[in-house]
């Protein structure tokens, strides 16, 4: 199988790997149908590297496929079923999982030197989806309608993260929302906020291509942060009150979010990693009684995500803007880095 193999910081190779063999009773073998490129992938290949990975693994964690074979204990799936995949599924039995906190699963995180606290995701630290066939545990594969396009299925993992986290804001019909960052995550938040009934959605993004795409997806105003002040815009659009909700979909802009929301407004942080430092004026948080919500991964949202994708309620076809065959992975990665796209999907070849 032609596969994308991570070779170390800034390096990958297309290599032939053997087709996997079912060994565990709960194994599900899938033919990979699509793999989206994530911001984490770009950070892994950045120089200097901004996120670790494990050399030698088959890369790609945002993937989907079609079942071709199942282990003897598998009951929920059969050959021919299309599935979306949770690449960092929880164990289901530790204290955190039993308390309803699967994103904090004690068995999900690595404790190796230099990798402490990293989620042990398929396609980042163990074999993933940039290949023809791969194995996933039954509990991490979720059935989806047979007529669902592969490039939309491949959006499942980031959509689950956004959908789960947006529930923390509890957006109501008529609310106002500001989104900082118009990359794939920011655009998914935009689509979800629009579907939730937000009457005004302001999106800040320096790249013109992405601002234009945001308008297509329903933003009521887009802002070039190099030209306009986002706080001033939010005040203009809300009669000086501030927006109800501000979503940070790009790193280290927490104070900007705090400035943009009204008293008792809500801020959602999703653009940080463990190295990000975001200075804030604590007095502003106290004075305005701002709610700040952190979020990580997609909890138990994959099943709901499958239903959202099937329904067509979100214009996801406008978010996957480009597709490439696996043999042109380098070109796909370069385009994703450039920002002249929203989401890039790679289609594996036999």
Report the predicted TM-score, pTM, of the whole model to 2 decimal places: 0.94
Tokens 């993260």 correspond to what residue? Answer: 161
Same domain, 253 and 310: no
Domain coverage including residue 115: 2-160+298-347
Same domain, 43 and 150: yes
Q: What is the CATH number of the domain that holds 335?
A: 3.90.180.10
Same domain, 103 and 123: yes
What digits encode the pLDDT tens for the residues 131-181?
A: 999 999 999 999 999 999 999 999 999 999 999 999 999 999 999 999 999
- DSSP label at 126? B
Which positions ≥6 away from 32 have C-beta within 8 Å? 63, 64, 65, 129, 130, 131, 132, 133, 134, 348
| Angle (nearest 5°) at CA 269 between 262 and 122 | 160
What digits encode the pLDDT tens for the residues 260-307?
A: 999 999 999 886 666 666 777 888 888 899 999 988 887 779 999 999
Give the Cα separation of 296 and 104 in Å (integer). 8
Q: How many helices (H) and strands (E) does the chain have?
A: 11, 15
Same domain, 276 and 339: no
Same domain, 17 and 132: yes
Residue 66: alpha-carbon gap to chain centroid = 21
Q: Are 125 and 116 in contact (CB under 8 A)?
A: no
Mean pLDDT of the residues in the chain: 94
Burial of 153 (0-12, 13-18, 19+ CB in 10 A): buried
Same domain, 32 and 13: yes
Give the Cα separation of 194 and 197 in Å (integer). 5
Same domain, 113 and 243: no
pLDDT at 11 over 90: yes
Same domain, 120 and 9: yes
pLDDT at 275: 64
Same domain, 255 and 130: no
Q: Are 30 and 67 in contact (CB under 8 A)?
A: yes
What digits encode the pLDDT tens for the residues 29-74?
A: 999 999 999 999 999 999 888 899 999 999 999 999 999 999 999 9
Query: How many structural domains does the chain have?
Result: 2
Q: What is the CATH number of the domain that holds 189?
A: 3.40.50.720
**Long-range CB contacts for residues 280-289, cutoff 8 Å, separation at least 24:** 280/254, 280/255, 281/255, 284/255, 284/258, 284/259, 285/258, 288/258, 288/261, 288/262, 288/263, 288/264, 289/263, 289/264
């Amino acid at each position: 199988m032609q596969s994308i193999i991570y070779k170390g910081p800034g390096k990958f190779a297309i290599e032939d790997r053997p087709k996997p063999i079912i060994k565990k009773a709960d194994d599900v073998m899938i033919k990979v149908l699509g793999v989206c490129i994530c911001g984490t992938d770009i950070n892994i290949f950045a120089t200097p590297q901004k996120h670790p990975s494990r050399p030698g693994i088959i890369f790609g964690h945002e993937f989907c496929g079609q079942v071709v074979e199942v282990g003897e204990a598998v009951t929920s799936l059969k050959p021919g079923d299309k599935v979306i995949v949770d690449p960092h599924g929880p164990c289901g039995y530790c204290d955190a999982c039993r308390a309803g906190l699967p994103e904090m699963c004690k068995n999900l995180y690595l404790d190796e030197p230099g990798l402490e606290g990293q989620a042990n995701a398929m396609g980042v630290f163990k074999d993933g989806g940039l290949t023809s066939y791969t194995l996933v545990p039954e509990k991490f594969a979720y059935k989806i309608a047979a007529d669902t396009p592969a490039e939309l299925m491949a959006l499942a993992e980031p959509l689950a993260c956004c959908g789960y986290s947006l529930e923390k804001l509890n957006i109501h019909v008529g609310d106002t929302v500001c989104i900082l960052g118009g990359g794939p995550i920011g655009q998914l938040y935009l689509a979800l906020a629009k579907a939730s009934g937000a009457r005004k959605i302001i999106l800040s993004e320096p790249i013109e291509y992405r601002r234009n795409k945001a308008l297509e997806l329903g933003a009521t105003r887009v802002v070039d942060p190099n030209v306009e002040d986002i706080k001033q815009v939010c005040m203009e659009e809300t009669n000086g009150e501030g927006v109800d909700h501000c979503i940070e979909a790009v790193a280290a802009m927490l104070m900007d979010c705090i400035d943009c929301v009204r008293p008792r407004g809500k801020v959602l942080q999703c653009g940080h990693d463990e190295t990000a430092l975001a200075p804030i004026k604590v007095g502003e948080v106290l004075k305005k009684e701002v709610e700040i919500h952190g979020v990580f991964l997609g909890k138990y949202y994959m099943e709901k995500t499958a239903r959202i994708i099937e329904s067509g309620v979100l214009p996801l076809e406008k978010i996957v803007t480009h597709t490439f065959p696996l043999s042109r992975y380098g070109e796909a990665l370069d385009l994703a880095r450039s920002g002249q796209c929203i989401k890039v999907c790679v289609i594996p070849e036999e």
